[in-house]
Amino acid sequence: SWVDHVARSGKTFAYGENGPKGLVTGKKVYIVLASGGIYSEGAAVQMDHAIPYLRSVLAFLGMTDVEVVRVEGVGMGADAVTAALARATAKVDAIAARAGDAVAAAA
């Protein structure tokens, strides 16, 4: 139902001669997703329906600059949770550092 709330004809996309066009452009999107298994690599990659779906919906709305932070394998025991959180935290820290660099460069 989230998609139904943000996909609004005339607001976030419009119909034109060549079909629908996203109206939400120039935006950076961050997706943070936790999962019990590991879907970004290995045998289960074909089972990852969440990220491809979200990328598709966001692209339909005009948002194509998407970065994903995954917290994967949280259903695989305490050590896996600790490792997943460390990886995700490192990625968020890197994103924050890049954002800080961009703000400093623009100042």
pLDDT of residue 105: 76
pLDDT of residue 63: 98
pLDDT of residue 74: 95
Contact 92, 100 (CB under 8 A): no
* Domain range for 36: 2-106
Lowest mean pLDDT among 15-19, 32-36, 47-51, 103-107: 103-107
Q: List the CATH number of the domain containing 33.
A: 3.40.50.360
Residue 20 CB-density burial (10 A; 0-12 exposed, 13-18 middle, 19+ buried): middle
- With a CB cutoff of 8 Å and minimum separation 6, the contacts of 12 are 6, 22, 23, 24, 61, 62
Q: How many domains does the chain have?
A: 1
Query: Is residue 20 pLDDT above 90, yes or no?
Result: yes
User: What pLDDT band is residue 1 in, cutting at 50, 70 and 90?
Assistant: low
pTM (predicted TM-score):
0.84
pLDDT in tens, 56-96: 999 999 999 999 999 999 999 999 999 999 999 999 999 99
